[in-house]
Amino acid sequence: MITTLNERMRGLASLFWREVAKFGAVGGIAFVIDNGLTFYLMHGPMTDSEAKARFFGASVATVFSWVANRFWTFRHRRQANVLREFVMFLIINGIGIGISTGLTAVAKYGMGVTDKNMLFLAGVVGILVATVVRFFAYRFLVFNQELDAEPEFSHDHEIIERHPHAHPVATTAVREAVNDSELPGPPS
């Protein structure tokens, strides 16, 4: 049993890190789109509107990110209701855009920073903070189909949940072995 548990935990960790790597690749491209567009707008058409430039760049990167995450990173976890998934994605990205745009606005208006490079850097720091929030929100709220969809992980939820059809003899044996009546589940 310990070997099986260990193998399943390693499998889950491997799956998780593959998702993190894919999410990182998509995020890296979105980062370039966001910052490239923002930098261009800050030094061109929106020279006096740094926060608006950050908002526009982040919005374009968000659309790219949704498509890439939906069809690559979390392709096995897509929701059947595409509209609901997209709205959840937009809400979570709205929070992320608020973080990066907010840090730019706080730096400019709250702290009086006027150097465009420092304002740009404030937005980059906001993106980094928002990225951590986004990964977990995407994984657990937007692209949240169960691991059961993947055959090799079809029973992994049993690691953390007591199976409702657990054999009563096994449950009794475990209780007797640890002499603890406080184990989860119905008394035997």
pLDDT attached to residue 27:
87
Tokens of 152: 């090799």
User: Is it the case that residue 123 has pLDDT exceeding 90?
Assistant: no
* 148 pLDDT more than 80: no
Least trusted range by pLDDT, from 51-60, 94-103, 130-139, 154-163: 154-163
CA distance 128 to 132: 7
What torsion do the CA atoms of 134, 35, 124, 116 make, to the nearest 10 degrees?
-150
168, 188 Cβ separation under 8 angstroms = yes
* Neighbouring C-alpha atoms within 13 Å toward the C-beta of 135: 18
| pLDDT value of position 110 | 93
- What's the pTM value of the predicted model, to 2 decimals? 0.57
Q: What are the residues whose beta carbons fall under 8 Å from the beta carbon of 154, sequence distance 6 or more?
A: 147, 148
One-letter amino acid identity for 108?
K
Give exposure, 48-57, as e/b (b: 16+ Cβ within 10 Å).
eebbbbbbbb
Greater model confidence, 3 or 128: 128
pLDDT at 170 over 70: no
Q: Between 12 and 165, name the one with better pLDDT.
A: 12
**Is residue 173 pLDDT above 70, yes or no?**
no
Residue found under tokens 């169960």: 146
Contact of 98 with 127, CB cutoff 8 Å: no
Q: Is 179 helix (H, G, I), strand (E, B) or coil?
A: coil
